[in-house]
A and B are shown apart, each in its own frame.
Chain A
Amino acid sequence: MDPLARYDPLVDDPAAFHAACDRPLPSVVRVNGLEATPDRVRRAFDEAGVGYEPVGWHDGLFRLADDVSPGNTWPFVHGWVYGQEEVSAVPALALDPEPGERVFDSCAAPGSKTTQVAALMDDRGLLVANDNDLGRLSALRANVERCGVTNVAVTRRDARNFSLSPVGGERFDRALVDVPCSCEGTIRKNPDALEAWSLDHVEGIAGVQTAILGRALEVTRAGGTVVYATCTFAPEENEAVLHHALEENDCDVVDFELALEHAPGVTEWRGESYDDAVRRAKRVYPHHNDTGGFFCAKVEVGA
């Protein structure tokens, strides 16, 4: 059975949803504002005869023509662009960090969002990029350096019990919690993403997500912001995790602007009901904007 069929009751147009999930995804690059402007990247692509089009909702994202392999272009070599799925640019925008702040990226590798957050911080302040996977951390380091980022401290900890002491002991202004998940929303990129799908796995990973989000809320200062994101549709890994966080912590889910078409978080799923606040989370389905699937919530820590 197709695991995605379980979401038919949630989506507005199941046929369009399934059709979109079967289509491959164009490659997209994000302009690294530390090293170049969107104009200069366009100009370099034009000079090299690389086909691209802007995405419409964000002037620093370009969809590339099918025959382009972005890693071989001058803009990539110079660190002007980062190959990143279009929807994956959303959480850093929701996080909306300021230069000079202390920011935590709890599950950072390989660094697409780390480099985006660093650019939004104008490479100023402290960005702690953490992951517990050594191999992926080396990819993170390489990506961070290629993008010319110098305000990142890389740590290798289990995000469930991250310790503040190596990074000064002070709590963060903001945290990005881009957890490991069942990756259903990446099906257009990895057609075998669902091969190992099981409800047991979904429920198991939801436990990890709950613990990672809980710790991120603890290490963020009162009044600070935590953004929770997954690339999956399963409410067990999304709204249920938020619901638990709302029960256990003094925090609230708040609205944020998103120019992409999306649906609100769901409050009813398979006999469970979730706190009304989770409606302010956003679900992006592949057929909405011809992207991958995504879930993103902005949480404010109680003052």
Chain B
Amino acid sequence: MTDDRLDGDGQGRDGTAARDAGDGGTDAPTNDGQRFDRLPGTADDRVVAGRATRREVVDWWVDRFGLEAATFDSHTFWEKGAGKVWAFAGDVDSPAGVEGLGMTFLRTRQKHWKPTTNAVQRFGRAATRNVVVLEEADATAFLAGETTEPAWDGDWGYLVAAHDVAGGVEPIGVGLYVHDELRSRMPKGRRREP
């Protein structure tokens, strides 16, 4: 997989490789999709190839949506499942045998990282850019999973789709803006027909 954010680093440093590999440790450590592994702080700490770092994850939310970096000060980040990053409002030493840790938060290990619907609903209220505020008819269509064509002259890519409700702008979910249209990325189980 080529990912321009991650190219050029990620090969293990010997001492810690064996621990992460869990298989004798001569090969470079790889991601074990069944287990929660803490994200390394920065690229220098990275042992498992391709794994996002804490700094990259926080920077991504800051760059993309203008959140304060401090938003995530009390969260720890974990990878379980290929590229699936979880945000946990606390810490545990070694969460072996744990099925879930906080919320699934961001999909990495792909060219364009993608926030989850739940993360956008939870943290997107504080976003200051890449938020498209939909008219009510479009908001309803978006919730049903439909593609809409809202007025938008900002970036393409993943946006927070929001609407005005009960006196404030509230995120609904993630939209992919390409070719002058907004494709709803509401997961099937979260869609609602009007």
Contact = CB atoms under 8 A, between A and B. Distances in A.
Interface string A34-47: 01000011011001
A149 B90 CA distance: 12
B98 A167 contact: yes
A167 B100 CA distance: 12
A153 B87 contact: no
Contact of B192 (A77, A126, A155, A156): A77
Interface stretch (A137-145, A172-180, A247-255): A137-145
A147 to B, nearest CB: 9
Contacts of B87: 150
Contacts of A44: 165-166
B99 A156 contact: yes
Interface string B75-99: 1000000000001111011111111
Contacts of B165: 44, 47, 74, 78
Contacts of B166: 40-41, 43-44, 47, 74
A83 interface: no
A149 B100 contact: no
Contacts of B88: 150-151, 153
Nearest to B163: A74
A165 B92 CA distance: 10
B24 interface: no
A142 B97 contact: no
Given A44-B166, A78-B121, A145-B118, A153 B101 contact: yes
Given A47-B166, A77-B192, A156-B99, A124 B118 contact: no
A153 B92 contact: yes
A148 B121 contact: yes
Contact of B99 (A74, A125, A137, A165): A137
Contacts of A77: 143, 172, 190, 192
B15 interface: no
B170 interface: yes
A43 B74 CA distance: 32
Interface in A99-136: 123-126
A155 B95 CA distance: 10
Contacts of B171: 78
Contact of A146 (B97, B118, B143): B118
Given A44-B165, A78-B170, A126 B92 contact: yes
B98 A155 contact: yes
20 contacts: A40-B167, A71-B192, A74-B166, A78-B170, A124-B89, A124-B90, A126-B90, A126-B92, A149-B102, A150-B103, A150-B122, A151-B102, A153-B90, A153-B92, A153-B98, A154-B99, A155-B98, A166-B98, A167-B92, A167-B98
Given A74-B170, A141-B100, A146-B190, 8 more contacts: A40-B167, A125-B90, A142-B189, A146-B118, A148-B122, A150-B122, A152-B100, A156-B99
